[in-house]
Structure 1
Amino acid sequence: MDRRTFVKSAGAASVVGMTGLAGCLGGDDDSRTWMIPWGEGGGTDTYARQMQPLAEEELDGSIEIENREGAGSMIGSEWLHGQENDGSVFGTVNPAGWSFTWRASEIDDWHPDDFEPIAYSGIFGYTLIVNDEYEIESFDGLRDAYEDGDISGFGYQGAGSDSHLTTLLLRDEYGLEYDNAVPYDGGGPTQEAVISDEVGAGFATNTSAVSAEESGEASAVVNLMDIDLDGVFPGIDSITNYGDSLAWITEFYQVQVAPPDTPEDERQELSEAIQYACEHEETQEWMEETGNIVEYGDMDAAAEQYVGSVDAIEENVDEAIGGFDEFQRMAEEADDD
């Protein structure tokens, strides 16, 4: 039986819901904006659109999702940092990858620790998806296909991002000799590029990989996390079969944060709405059907995921490749190839 038949539907959450309007800020007290720093259709966007109507129920008000993708989530994060601190706007960020991209971008105007914690709502991470035309079923098969010139192009989620480093590690440490690495603004656009065969393979979160398989044009072939995905993608190959774990750079939390100095009472109201959405029967059913990990963490638990995370990611990068200067050298060398 085709492995795709085992994949359950992610539901309409991945494709429906209104894109928020910047004009909703500062008006109706019952209207809030939920900023997603990635394009529509990716993992973070899919989680948010699953939670949105349920959070609205608890708040008894409207939430508009606004996608502000670009620069590996830094454009949306910078925008969120500058918004009003009245509780009318919040966003989702994805440490530790978010912390990595901030550090690699050498941003001086703001720091991840500046944001105020609200909650976290789930855990997810990266897989590799491959266009079905190539009939590749393992990482070893993908390596051979690139080496033999049978497949072309490898998509990742933003220059200077966590997936950029992982792309370089897959080449240098795991022997994935792709001919051309192409950055996209998040999982949705990367997934579309693989489905259309603009690139033969690329990154997808385990969340967006479900819809990639449902398209009938691509399959999740490699799990880059330590989290077991066999229940969703039966027989999926694991990168740990070929080297050390990459979980430190390929697993992320869905953390909701508010602009600096947003009052605790405003954040607590949002945190309770996220909790309601996480624990609601509809979300629990969605989790069981899709294999997505939904888990609520309160404000303190959310803060633990990103406050001080830059120091932690620096230690991990130092241990893995010798530091961020080495990452910049690797990236520049790859650009010159």
Structure 2
Amino acid sequence: MDRRTFVQTTGAVGAVGLTGLAGCLGDDNGDNGDDFPSESLTWMIPWGEGGGTDTYARQMAPLMEDPLDQSIEIDNREGAGSMLGSEWLVQQDPDGYTFGTVNPPGWSFTWRAQDVDAWEPEDLEPIAYSGVFGYTLIVNDDAAEDAGGIDDFESLRDAYADDEISGFGYQGAGSDSHLTTLLLREEYDLDYDSAVPYDGGGPTMEAVIGGEVAAGFATNTSAVAAEESGEATAIVNLMDIDLDHVFPDIDPITDYGDSLAWITEFYQVQVAPPETPEEEREVLMDAIQEATEHEETQEWEEETGNIVEFGDMDDAADQYVGSVEEIESQVDESIGGFDEFQRLVEEEEDEEE
């Protein structure tokens, strides 16, 4: 079963349970009533500025302010592969004024890989989802030129093997991006000399643009900005989603092995702190829907190739309720389980020392 089928069929019972629980709690905790929202809101992004998640939020937030009649502040809380921001969100008041974005299944993977025990993904309450995005590989143009040209995965692989380029950037130690980096080495023969973790797509993109590393991860969203800089080029699509309309010459990783979509395609899922009443979440959901359907967002989607897609509260829950179990199964099949992932991480750390 592929991931898209999975997210449509898993967690339906959990979604009902979450929504029902929030509805029951609304009488006790939801004192906002018809006046919600009556003050500004905070949208937490668990990654740094400039990455895919941040870019989507900054497109959507101004268009949500009109239906909400309140301003929205973007609060970037990067670190630990999105876990620091997620943990912060879990601890906020359940009044609807603070919400955030998570990106399952990568978010679910990172939670499991880091053995987080203070909270669980299902603790957060679903609001909506607003888009789909995923990973590409970008290369620094100067490094590519010095190596005699790098324009696809094969030439990238050859450049590393021949020590013509150095450094590979990924998005967060212990994260889904880290696992994908290891899979590229173990299963796709990407023999990079060193792998460097950064806190999200924005910092990783900047590291490639600046030549700090020769190549690395970008979301398809931030890869557009990388190309617009004139310093880097998107060369490999790690998703199954076709990006030819944005990057006409991009090389699909499926030409070199099995699909990686289960760990490289993500949903932009908006969630609220535990016990946030359904009434307040519905107000936010409606504003998100209006923003996704706004003509400015539709034009942005066409110009950038970013995939805007609205899903309601139940659809949002379907993306992450039960997703940890699916991730465990996929990791078992692809790399031998989370213990093997941790072994490879430790082995890599030893090589770096």
Give TM-score, length-normalised by structure 1: 0.91
Secondary structure of 1:145's counterpart equals: helix
Of 219, 231, 235, the residue aligned with 1:221 is 235
Is 1:178–2:192 an aligned residue pair?
yes
Of 262, 274, 282, the residue aligned with 1:248 is 262
- Structure 2: state its 5+ residue gaps: 1-31
Equivalent position of 2:117 in the other structure: 108
* Alpha-carbon distance between aligned partners in 2 of 1:120 and 1:84, rounded to the nearest angstrom: 21
Structure 1 residues 22-101: aligned runs within 5 Å: 29-101=38-110
Superposition deviation, residue 30 in structure 1 = 2.1
**Deviation string, structure 1 residues 142-173 (Cα, Å, up to 9, x no partner):** 00000111100000000000000000000010
Equivalent position of 1:125 in the other structure: 134
Equivalent position of 1:3 in the other structure: none
* Alpha-carbon distance between aligned partners in 1 of 2:312 and 2:82, rounded to the nearest angstrom: 23
* Alpha-carbon distance between aligned partners in 1 of 2:94 and 2:155, rounded to the nearest angstrom: 50
Larger radius of gyration: 2
* Alpha-carbon distance between aligned partners in 2 of 1:252 and 1:53, rounded to the nearest angstrom: 23
Amino acid of the structure 1 residue aligned with 2:184:
L
Of 195, 198, 219, the residue aligned with 2:209 is 195
* Alpha-carbon distance between aligned partners in 1 of 2:197 and 2:67, rounded to the nearest angstrom: 38
Give TM-score, length-normalised by structure 2: 0.87
- Tell me the matched-pair count: 311
Superposition deviation, residue 322 in structure 1 = 1.3
Amino acid of the structure 1 residue aligned with 2:59:
Q
* Alpha-carbon distance between aligned partners in 2 of 1:124 and 1:161, rounded to the nearest angstrom: 16
Aligned-residue identity in percent? 76
* Alpha-carbon distance between aligned partners in 1 of 2:116 and 2:202, rounded to the nearest angstrom: 25
Amino acid of the structure 2 residue aligned with 1:60:
D
Is 1:294–2:303 an aligned residue pair?
no
Check conservation: 1:120, 1:295, Cα contact below 8 A.
yes
Amino acid of the structure 2 residue aligned with 1:97:
G
* Alpha-carbon distance between aligned partners in 1 of 2:67 and 2:155, rounded to the nearest angstrom: 48
- Structure 1: state its 5+ residue gaps: 1-25
Is 1:235–2:244 an aligned residue pair?
no
The CA RMSD measured in Å over matched residues stands at: 1.0
* Alpha-carbon distance between aligned partners in 2 of 1:150 and 1:214, rounded to the nearest angstrom: 25
Superposition deviation, residue 138 in structure 1 = 0.3
Instruction: Find runs of 4+ consecutive structure 1 residues off by over 3 angstroms.
Output: none
Superposition deviation, residue 29 in structure 1 = 3.1
Superposition deviation, residue 306 in structure 1 = 0.3
Amino acid of the structure 1 residue aligned with 2:53:
T
Superposition deviation, residue 235 in structure 1 = 1.2
Equivalent position of 1:259 in the other structure: 273
Check conservation: 1:29, 1:88, Cα contact below 8 A.
no
* Alpha-carbon distance between aligned partners in 2 of 1:296 and 1:57, rounded to the nearest angstrom: 18
Equivalent position of 2:14 in the other structure: none
Equivalent position of 1:6 in the other structure: none
Superposition deviation, residue 335 in structure 1 = 1.2
Secondary structure of 1:110's counterpart equals: coil
